[in-house]
Every structure is written in C-alpha cells, then in structure tokens.
Amino acid sequence: MIKDTIVNGCDNAPHRSLYNALGLTEEELQKPLIGIVCSYNEIVPGHMNLDKIAQAVKLGVALAGGTPIMFPAIAVCDGIAMGHEGMKYSLVTRDLIADSTEAMVKAHGFDGLVMIPNCDKNVPGLLMASARLNIPTVFVSGGPMLAGRVGGKKTSLSSMFEAVGAYHAGKIDDAKLNEFECKTCPSCGSCSGMYTANSMNCLTEVLGMGLSGNGTIPAPYSARIQLAKHAGMQVMELVKKNIRPRDIMTASAIRNAITADMALGCSTNSMLHLPAIANECGVKFDLEEVNAISEKTPNLCHLAPAGPTYMEDLNEAGGVYAVLKEISKLGLLDTSVMTCTGKTMAENIANAEILDDTVIRRVSNPYSKTGGIAVLKGNLAPDGCVVKRAAVAPEMLVHEGPAKVYESEEEAIAAIHGGKIVAGDVVVIRYEGPAGGPGMREMLNPTSAIQGMGLGSSVALITDGRFSGATRGASIGHCSPEAVSGGPIAYVKDGDIISINIPEYRIELKVSDEEMQKRRAEMPIKKKENISGYLKRYAAMVSSADKGAILNY
C-alpha cells in the first residue's frame, strides 16, 4: 500500500507535513489513496458535468473506505476544433493525457484510480495511462448527450454539419440553419450518435474497464450519478483483490473489443485507439485481423450517423451488455475474460437482454452479415486504410472514378462549396496524416459538405487524415503510408482513376508501376514549414496511422 512507502514512518514526516497542508487527517492517510483523474472543464460540452461525476465518485470511494484525491486531465472538443488549425491539437492530446496522468500518479503515488473521461481522446488516453501504470482502475464517463429534435426528427452533431452543406447548396435557408443550430445539441454530454467518444466509452465496457451503462446512460440522467458512486465503490474492491488493468485488458479482451466494434458500428477512430491501447498493454494488434473478425461479425446497430437511432435509444434497448449477449450466441467472444466488476464477462452479461430489436437487431436479422468497419489495401494504401462500412450507401460499396486532388482540408472544402466536385468523383485530401498534418485532422467538414449537397451516394473521399465518428458515406481515412512519408497517395494526380471495392477490401490507383516510379522521381514530398512547439515534437515522433499513430520514444 502507498501508505507504507510514502505516508508511514519517520522518514516520511516531510510527506505527511504536505498532506497536512492539504487538510488530510491521519485517519484518511491510513486508508487506500484513490486518485480521481477528472477531465472536467468549461469549454467541452461532454465535460461540463464531470465535476458532478467526480463528486459522486469521491462519495463512492469514501463510502467503501478509501480516501479520494482528485487531479485533472485536459480535453479538446473536436466539434469546436473542427475545420481549423485547432483540429491539429486533437489527436495529439491523447498522448499528452496519457503522459501527464502517468507523471501525476508516479510522482504522488496512489493505491487505485478512477478515470473520468468523456470525449474522443480522453478515453483512449486514460486507457493507455491505466495500462502503463497498472494499478487497480475503474472508468466512468460523463455519458452521451441527448439527441436534438428538428422538424419532429431526432438529430445530432452530424446533422448540424450536414445542414451547413445543405445551406451552401441552397437547399435550406437561414431560418432552417438557425433552427438546427439552436436545437441540435440540447444537453451536456458527448455528442449523441455513435461517434468516437461514445464508441470508446462503449468499448471501455467491452474491454472490462467500465461498469455496465458506462457508454450509454445519458449525461443528464440521475442514473449516471449512481453509476459514478458505484465506480467509486468498485475501485475499492479491485484494490482489495489487486485486480489490475493488464489483468483485464488482455489479448482476448482486445479481440472482444474489435468484435463488439463491428457489431455496434463504431467510429473508424477506434482503429487508431485500440492499437495504441494494445501497445500499452503489451498486446500485438494486427490490422490484418480486423477484416477476419469483421467477416464473422454481424453489424447489429445503425446509430447516427449510420442510421436514425441514438445513444439514448441504445441505452433503452439494453445497452452494450445486450449487444455482447447477442453476439456471444455466435461464439465470437471470449467471455471468460476478467472485468472491473471482479467477475467475468460471461457473468456480467448473463441476464442481459435486447429490449428493442429495432435498435439492436438479432443475429438472425443483422443490418449486414459483416462488421461495421473495413480495412482496405492495395497499391494506393499498401499498409491499409479504414472505412466505416456501416455508414456507406449501398451503391458506394463498389465505386470507380476520377481523382480530384487537394493538398489540405481547406483546399478541398473550397472546391466542394465552389461546386467543383461532381457525381462520380473521388476526392483525395493528402498531407493531413499524423506527421504530415501534423496531428491527423478529422475531415468532418468536407464529408458533411458532400452529404449536405446531395453527393453522398455518388462521391468518395480518401485521405491520409482521419474522420470524425460523425462522418458517413464512402469516406476512407488513415491511408498508409501517409503522403509525407512517401506513400502512394503523395503521387496521385487529378484525373487518375481510383477503384474502391469495400466488400473485397481493395483500393487501387489505376496507374502503372512505371508511371508511379517516374512520379516519385519528379514530384517532391511537401513537408510543412513553420511547425513549432508540441506539434513539431509530435511530428518527429509519431508513427503511421496503421500503427495507431503511437509515439516512437
């Protein structure tokens, strides 16, 4: 226990004097010290309620005989950062969060941790930290936002971005755009569709690091406060039993997460975050295995942006455990894995059931027989690229068309809004990868513009950057190797024919090897100048997207 190495004994009197300065009593110091890592702030809607979650966690810890001590983690709102330089600082915070949490825990010493993230990078960043630190840990998120309502229909942030595209296309007027603006995001919480934040919070349940409901109980619900109290209580059980993150996040648990990802129809960003988490757990993540799992796993959920249901609907339909119970019928999960409940997955899901099979379909009636994500390979992406297959229009699963090439997101947006993209085109946005961006910006603006202008069923988009979980359509990201590393995407020219075949996991640039060799000699790599600060260090250290954009130390 930490008290034996930091608190007790005459040599630790200086430490105790500083604990006295904190107002801690001798009685508190003799109990297990539990770090509460909370990413509360007043700029991210998904985090504005985390102060209440933290207070509930602290009560739970105290009720179970521990001493809770809170410290912060940072957070970036991807929606607010979208479409400008700020998005370069989104993915990079994942490593800042992991590193700063490691520093705080190692410097001060704790017997256990409760992690309180909610949005896109906080969840994987803290999962990475928990694996690295490997002391008893429970996660409890702030919960998803309630869906908005416009014209009697539920909406989410993707609807808002697509409304901007519709506005530019002259399909809606100022008044309608303002209605979307005022009604799309009606509460605190992580945005209401199966976007990255909610994907990762759901997968935290699957990995065994969060209690049931972690991914789905809406942020405004009182049940979220109760869940937080139970998380505080449960970490004390893990401390007593010495159950640690690497006992939970095993190779089998990672495979379970990939499988559940396919069934739930999660964000493509999970294909960046799961490899990074696996890396911290000492587990090999093979991108090739993703398609093998996808081939066997039916897609059971079509939450926004893929369909008309939302996180609140998934919660009412039985939540993540109901999905796990259903796909376990096919023998696709290792349910013997340990979880933070102190029980196996099999024990956790034993009484789960689907309460609404229009939200969670049965394995006998899936949306598709294959999973929600596909990894494509070919001469354009020798190391792979990723698409959210569940959110692609059927007519775009196989597509061939001429490339329209842009060197940045801004160039592409100007072309789309300027009417330069037509049906059949394949938009290529390059130099937006982990190192080339740097920071691998999400491309929600161009994908939403394409959808809002009515081109979603006829135009594809390929990038070495990435997409928001709110993106839908034939949007193919993580193209590896990236352009700045000399990947083939750097040598695509306007008019080149690109062939996409998602069912066969293929993507091809119809240019001869001889022509590509010539282009490599003639077309210089365009490295961005004037990069400074953290982004400069990040660009120098980050790996490619197929490796999870992890930092090479």
Tell me which amino acid residue 223 is: A
- Residues 6 or more apart whose Cβ sits within 8 Å of residue 158: 193, 195, 304, 305, 444, 448, 468, 470, 471, 472
Residues in Cβ contact with 473 at an 8 Å cutoff, skipping those fewer than 6 apart: 391, 392, 393, 396, 447, 450, 451, 456, 459, 460, 461
Cα angle, residue 28 at apex, residues 24 and 29 outer, rounded to 5°: 85
Cα distances (angstroms) measured from residue 72 to each of 38, 81, 115, 117, 520: 5, 21, 10, 10, 47
Nearest to 453 by CA among 155, 167, 153: 167
Q: Rounded distance, CA 81 to CA 89, Å?
A: 8
**Distance, CA of 260 to CA of 470 (rounded, Å):** 19
Q: Quick one: which H or E segment has residue 497?
A: strand 497-501
Which CA distances in Å does 495 have to 84, 301, 407, 446? 28, 37, 15, 20
User: Which helix (H) or strand (E) is 461 found in, with range?
Assistant: strand 460-463
Write out the catalytic residue numbers.
468
Q: Which residues touch 475 (CB under 8 Å, ≥6 apart)? A: 387, 388, 443, 447, 460, 461, 467
Task: Specify the 3-state DSSP secondary structure of 18.
Answer: helix
Query: Cβ distance 430 to 483 under 8 Å?
Result: yes
- Phi, psi of 373, rounded to the nearest 5 degrees: -125, 145
From CA 341, how far away is CA 61, in angstroms rounded?
15
Partners of residue 20 on adjacent β-strands: none
Enumerate the β-bridge partners of residue 381: 378
Whether residue 108 contacts residue 30, with contact meaning beta carbons closer than 8 Å, is answered with no
Q: Which residues neighbour 356 within 8 Å (Cβ) at sequence distance 6 or greater?
A: 313, 316, 317, 318
* Bridge pairing between strands 137-139 and 112-116: parallel
